[in-house]
Amino acid sequence: MAMTSQKRVHYFGRTKSEGNKEMKTLLGGKGANLAEMTSIGLPVPPGFTITTETCAEYTDIGGKLPDGLVDEVHSNMALLEEETGKTFGSEENPLLVSVRSGAAVSMPGMMDTVLNLGLTDKAVDGLANVSGSRRFALDAYRRLINMFGDVVMEVPHHKFEDEFDRIKDKYGVSEDTDLNEAGLEELITAYKAVYKGSTGNDFPQDPYQQLEKSVEAVFKSWNIPRAVRYREINEITGLLGTAVNVQTMVFGNMGDDSGTGVAFTRDPSTGENKFFGEFLINAQGEDVVAGIRTPQNVDEMVKWRPEIYENLLNMKRVLENHYREMQDIEYTIEKGNLFLLQTRTGKRTGRAAVTIAVEMVVEGRITQQEALLRVPANDLNQLLLPTFDTNAERDILTVGLPASPGAASGKIAFSADEAVDRTHEGESVILVRKDTSPEDVSGMHAAAGILTSTGGMTSHAAVVARGWGKCCIAGAGEVVIDEKNRSITIKGRTFGDQDIISIDGSSGELIAGDMPRMEPKLSEEFKSLMEWADSHRTLQVWTNADTPQDAERARNWGAQGIGLCRTEHMFFEGERITDMREMILAENEEERRVGLDKLLPHQREDFKGLFTAMQGLPVTVRLLDPPLHEFLPHEEHLQQELANRLQVPLARIKARVIQLHETNPMLGHRGCRLSISYPEILDMQATAITEAAIECRRNGIDARPEIMVPLVGTSKELSLLRKQIETIIQGVKEAKAYSDELDIPIGTMIEIPRAALTADEVAQHADFFSFGTNDLTQMTFGYSRDDVNSFLPNYIRHEILERDPFQSLDTRGVGQLVAMAVGKGRGEKKGMKMGICGEHGGDPLSIRFCHQTGLNYVSCSPFRVPVARLAAAQAAVKNDAGRD
Ligand code: PEP
Ligand code: MG
């Protein structure tokens, strides 16, 4: 059972405020910030928060409100009545409250909200009296029955909708707001009937019953599938549950001097320091977020109520000065009075994160170190996202709201499930919906991009897509979706589920057909952040690259060397694969050498290209690694083609394929074992490397090759191969009459557990170690890296593993081997250079571990180099600050 502190309810109001922004774990983000804002004097309607611990308790005791909670709620309601001068359920001046969820980590739209609690047949008269509008009171009541029925009692939402449509028809109106009092009275009666029909009970006339059931519904909603799925996708683990916030209602729908809105204190897409948001006049809270009506830009507010706009700008200053961070706020204007209902750290795109962090340093609000920690390293990927080629013709169909940047093309998917299925089948799809709801998250996640026809910049689709850095256009009102016939029509042009559309999330343009894409241009703020990262980090960042183009790109992004050139990739190029196959088919060494002689000049040119691209920086060339069968064709018609080309009998090819077949090729004839069996392959590669280096140097290019032996498990393998490599290098130097200094360090990958366990012995023959954590993970866990997905999702779901160990290093297990090898290796050779070149070299969490373990560099794919630079700086800053 979860531990609980005695106090389950924390009040916030003028009389006292029992929380603060540091109490997110206990009060949830919303609750902690409501208390904080109250304390600093901002206009927050009073209320109280029930702790996340209580949610855990609720679950632990089998889904019941724990003893004593109801009493505590009652005494806090009494405080609230005292502070507001209103009475819960009163027929004269009723207190109404909202009930909202709020976990420690914000989960947009994932949990349910109930507004106007406390309205009953009697209290509705009270509300009519005090508000001076019976219509308003009735409207509030019908909303409560609907929300309470739908959210708390699970009455199907459409049953209410159907009644609403029927009554609107009867009264001849199309907008909700046009229904008169008589219509609303009739609607309430109809809603109550729907409620009773579905639940078997009358709509509760005891306001405390409404409140208790709502609190319970919030607790329950913590574990509904869509919430669980959202946490899974976003890797949110370790939370107790959700808090419940009960807060005095303020109304944005009290007429034309009322309204409600959502705003960010800076632009969450670009990061520009400009108040950014939307509002709806005469509307209630959820209308903006739900994306039902398309709201107005907050800039328009100047025309409506300049003094309120000024007031909002002032709150932006107060909030940013206090929180030193961009805030995302919800506000309501009730009869000209502004109230803040929520503030939280605003979600933002990677681009905005960089701009805001850098500008806040320039503004003197935060330090460079804080700025470095504010940008999630993985979010830099978004800045490196492609855009559509600006020179390409655009057949623009319409322009919606640029909700989340990026550029995506794909076929049209009409539902979330369809998006998931078609993506799994290998299609690129754009999920096209009127609007999205939390149920759609899986499909949104799977799709290449999202397009909605209603909703604003703060609608569910926009907020969720931005959080993921997924391209999204929202509110493209001209897109008419016909789900039944599986088509969309824009200004008379119709597209079906097999047609490709393109969406530009930065401009909001919807474009017909596929579009060529372009590499991104990096901002000045990005460059500043990267400079700061470089000045704070101690880990070097290298790259895994096999072509001069990749090497150049990585170098432009700041790579300080090549940590892994997988030479096998070079053998698939053009004609070379045939020479390679000929070599593999050879029946003796002599024949093999004939094939290798053909490959040598190509290899030499490859290396010259790489050395030139990386001149002055180390280039670690790994000797051939994969089992040879991978280079031979396995399908009969391809084998026949090869037989024809090489003029050899088909049977010979088949026989060789059978001969090379292995039951466990990953544990088989690969890596350095190939060099031991076929030393001539190593000879060719070492010759090509040395010749290329000499030719480059003679041309004034500072080539710095290093040779790396893969899959070493015993020191003997390495000592033998090292001697052979040294002999070749020496031989080439002599043959080329090269007498200048040319030091080619020879090292090894540590990717077999035994190599790590005996790293002291291995180190005697190695100039450096590079941890091949892909294989090391495979062999430590005994999970096949190619087939792990058959069971991994299940393992994650059952929390057997916290995350995929092939993406993020298992520091407790595999990490121990790494740390041991570092210790043993350096024990043998002080200061020995050590790096990592498995996929983990580009993963921020793993990079942190590499920093702590004392590696010299991480090597990752070119695209991830900026991510790794930032992650390395974050590791250094966190370590210096003694933070976890
Ligand atoms: C590794 O095993 O981590 C590695 C980098 O080598 P490869 O992925 O080529 O096996
Ligand atoms: Mg490997």
Host H or E run for residue 243: strand 242-248
| Those residues with Cβ within 8 angstroms of residue 291's Cβ, 6 or more apart along the chain or in another chain | 435, 452, 454, 455, 456, 459, 460, 461, 474, 475
Question: Residue 467 — pLDDT band, cuts 50, 70, 90?
Answer: low
Residue 462's pLDDT band (boundaries 50, 70, 90)? confident
Find the DSSP H helices in 736-856: 753-757, 759-763, 773-781, 792-797, 814-828, 844-853
Three-state DSSP state, 393: coil
Contacts of 537 (CB under 8 A, 6+ apart): 851, 869, 872, 873, 875, 876
Q: Say which residues have a Cβ less than 8 Å from residue 700's Cβ, sequence separation at least 6.
A: none
Q: Find how far residue 86's CA is from the centre of its chain.
A: 45
The CA 848 to ligand 2 mean position distance, Å, reads 21
Ligand 2 (ion): residues with CB under 5 Å are: 751, 772, 775
Residue among 774, 779, 818, 864 whose CB has most ligand 1 atoms within 8 A, to mutate:
774
Of all protein residues, the one whose alpha carbon is nearest to atom 9 of ligand 1 is: 566
Q: Is 634 noted as a catalytic residue in this protein?
A: no
Q: Which two tokens stand for residue 443?
A: 């499909």
How far is C-alpha 683 from the geometric centre of its chain's CA atoms? 45
Atom of ligand 1 nearest to the CA of 773: 3
Angle, helices 650-660/576-585, rounded to nearest 10 degrees: 80
pLDDT of residue 457: 67
Q: What single-letter DSSP state applies at residue 517?
A: E
pLDDT tens-digit readout, 419-449: 989 998 889 999 999 987 766 777 898 999 9
Catalytic residue status for 471: no
Distance between CA 3 and CA 56 in Å, rounded?
Answer: 9
Q: Which of 696, 837, 850, 860 is catalytic?
A: 837
- In this prediction, residue 548 has a pLDDT band, given cuts at 50, 70 and 90, of very high
The contacts of residue 740 (CB under 8 Å, 6+ apart) are 697
Does position 2 have pLDDT exceeding 50, yes or no?
A: no
Contact of 352 with 268, CB cutoff 8 Å: yes
Q: Residue 550: count other Cβ atoms within 10 Å of its Cβ.
A: 21
Please report, for residues 357, 553, 651, 666, 679, the alpha-carbon distance to residue 657 in angstroms, rounded to integers and kept in the order given: 57, 38, 10, 16, 21
Q: Region 402-408: what's the mean pLDDT?
A: 87
* Torsion angle of C-alpha atoms 56, 61, 64, 69, degrees rounded to 10: -60
Q: Lowest-confidence range among 140-144, 287-291, 430-434?
A: 287-291
Which position has the token pair 């698939």? 572
Can you give the three-state secondary structure of 549-617, one letter per residue?
Answer: HHHHHHHHCCCCCEEEEEHHHHHHCCCHHHHHHHHHHCCCHHHHHHHHHHHHHHHHHHHHHHHHHCCCC
What does the buried/exposed string (b/e) look like for 303-312 if buried means 16 or more CB atoms within 10 Å of the residue's CB? Answer: eebeebbeeb
pLDDT, tens digit (0-9, with 9 covering 90-100), for 744-793: 999 999 999 999 999 999 999 999 999 999 999 999 999 988 778 778 87
Strand-pairing partners, residue 264, are 276, 328
Share of the chain above pLDDT 70, in %: 97
Section 493-506 average pLDDT: 95
Q: Is the pLDDT of residue 5 over 60?
A: no
- Alpha-carbon torsion angle 506, 507, 513, 514, nearest 10: -30
Please name the residue that has the structure tokens 């170690």: 769
Please, what is the Cα angle at 607 between 602 and 609, to 5 degrees? 95
Identity of residue 719:
S
Closest-CA residue, ligand 1 atom 4, reads 772
772: CA distance to ligand 1 center in Å? 5
Mean pLDDT of the chain: 92
- Per-residue pLDDT of 300-320, as tens digits, reads 999 999 999 999 999 999 999
What three-state secondary structure class fits 269?
coil
Average pLDDT over residues 13-29: 94
Judge whether 575 and 595 are in contact, CB under 8 Å: no
Angstrom distance (rounded) from CA 436 to CA 438 = 7
Most confident of the following: 638-652, 678-692, 803-817, 869-883:
678-692
Q: Which amino acid is at 284?
A: Q
* pLDDT, tens digit (0-9, with 9 covering 90-100), for 62-105: 999 999 999 999 999 999 999 999 999 999 999 999 999 999 98
Residue 685, SS3?
helix
Mean pLDDT of 254-282: 93
Residue type for 680, please? E
Which among 592, 567, 572 is positioned nearest to 582, based on CA atoms?
A: 592
Measure the CA–CA gap between 541 and 77, rounded to whole angstroms.
57
How remote is the CA of residue 711 from the centroid of ligand 2, in Å?
7
Query: Residue 401: which pLDDT band, with cuts at 50, 70 and 90?
Result: confident
The 10 Å Cβ neighbour count of residue 185 is 14
Q: What residues form DSSP beta bridges with 302?
A: none
Q: What whole-number distance in Å separates Cα of residue 835 and Cα of residue 850?
A: 8
- How large is the average pLDDT for residues 385-392? 83
From start to end of 26-124, where are the E strands?
47-50, 87-88, 94-95, 97-103, 114-117
Q: What is the pLDDT of residue 634?
A: 85
Write down the pLDDT at residue 290.
Answer: 60
- Segment holding 391, helix H or strand E: none
pLDDT at position 4 is 47
Minimum CA distance residue for ligand 1 atom 8? 774
More confident residue, 5 or 421: 421
Bridge-based pairing of strands 387-388 and 296-297 is unpaired
Indicate whether 1 pLDDT > 60.
Answer: no
- SS3 for 512? strand
> Which DSSP helix (H) or strand (E) runs through 16?
none
Element (H, E) at 419: helix 416-424
Please tell me the number of the ligand nearest to residue 771's CA.
Answer: 1
Give mean pLDDT, residues 362-378. 96
Residue 775 Cα to ligand 1 middle (Å)? 6
pLDDT beyond 60 at 3 = no
Indicate if the pLDDT at residue 406 is higher than 50: yes
* Cβ < 6 A, ligand 1 pocket: 564, 566, 625, 751, 772-775, 837-838
Q: How far is the CA of 101 from the centre of ligand 2 (A)?
A: 47
DSSP category for residue 378? G
Whether the Cβ atoms of residue 403 and residue 466 lie closer than 8 Å to each other: yes
Is the per-residue pLDDT at 509 higher than 90?
yes
When pLDDT is cut at 50, 70 and 90, the band that residue 655 belongs to is very high
Q: Among 362-366, 437-441, 796-800, where is mean pLDDT lowest? A: 437-441
3-state DSSP call for residue 464?
helix
- pLDDT higher than 60, residue 364: yes
Q: Which of 10, 55, 445, 460 is catalytic?
A: 460
Nearest to 49 by CA among 326, 342, 318: 342
